[in-house]
Structure 1
Amino acid sequence: MADNIKLIVAVVLMMAAIALFYTYSEYSTLLRVLGLLATAGISLFIASKTAIGSTVLSYIGDTNVEVRKVVWPTRQETLQTTLVVILMVIMVALMLWGIDSLLGWGVRALTL
């Protein structure tokens, strides 16, 4: 029950901040954006103190760990792979053009 109240407070706070952002359009955009960002931070902090929020934070942390494990290709590997893909696309395009030409010739021969 307490988690639900925290989430409702966070959502209401964020909705109020968005409404105030558009209501006070005569004020500086910089001040309105800073207020919106501060309110978003407070809302996220409140939401992170719930069970769902802690699960989301745990997921984000696990995702960062997995991203650090990724072995990114070198520049040379990327260039070689890109060239292979381009060559394969050209080869398949030529094959499809040849088949299309052959079928077009066959249809013209049958319809004349």
Structure 2
Amino acid sequence: MADKIKLLLAAVVLGGAVAAFYYFADLMLFVRVVVLLVAVGVAVAIAAQTAVGADALAFLRSALMEVRKVVWPTRKETMQTTLVILAMVTVMGLLMWGFDAFLAMMVRTLTG
């Protein structure tokens, strides 16, 4: 029950911040954005105190650990892969254009 109350409070804080962002449209945009970001931070902090929030934070931490383990391709590998993809797209485009032209010719022949 306490988790539901905390999540509801986080939703109210977030909804109030969005409403205030539009209600105080005459204030500087920078001020409104800063207040909105602070409110989002407060809402996330409140939501993180729940079981669902703790699970979400644990998932994000493990996802960041996995991203650090990724072996990213070098610039050379990226360029080679991009060129292969561009070549295949070009070849497939030409094949599809030729097949379409053939079908159009067949339809013209059949329909007179």
Alignment of 1:13-92 (within 5 A): 13-92=13-92
Residue 6 of structure 2 corresponds to 6
Tell me the secondary structure at the aligned position of residue 37 of structure 1: helix
Tell me the secondary structure at the aligned position of residue 36 of structure 2: helix
The alignment's TM-score, normalised by the length of structure 1, stands at 0.82
Deviations 1:48-88 (A, max 9, x none): 00000000001111111111111111111111112222222
Matched letter for residue 42 of structure 2: I
Q: How far apart in 2 are the matches of 1:28 and 1:104?
A: 60
CA RMSD of aligned residues (A): 2.0
Q: How far apart in 1 are the matches of 2:93 and 2:48?
A: 52
The total of aligned residue pairs comes to: 112
Matched letter for residue 83 of structure 1: L
Matched letter for residue 45 of structure 1: A
Q: How far apart in 2 are the matches of 1:73 and 1:9?
A: 44
Query: CA, structure 1 residues 52+95, in 2 after alignment: closer, same or farther (shift >3 Å)?
Result: same
Query: CA, structure 1 residues 30+83, in 2 after alignment: closer, same or farther (shift >3 Å)?
Result: closer
Structure 2 unmatched ranges of 5 or more: none
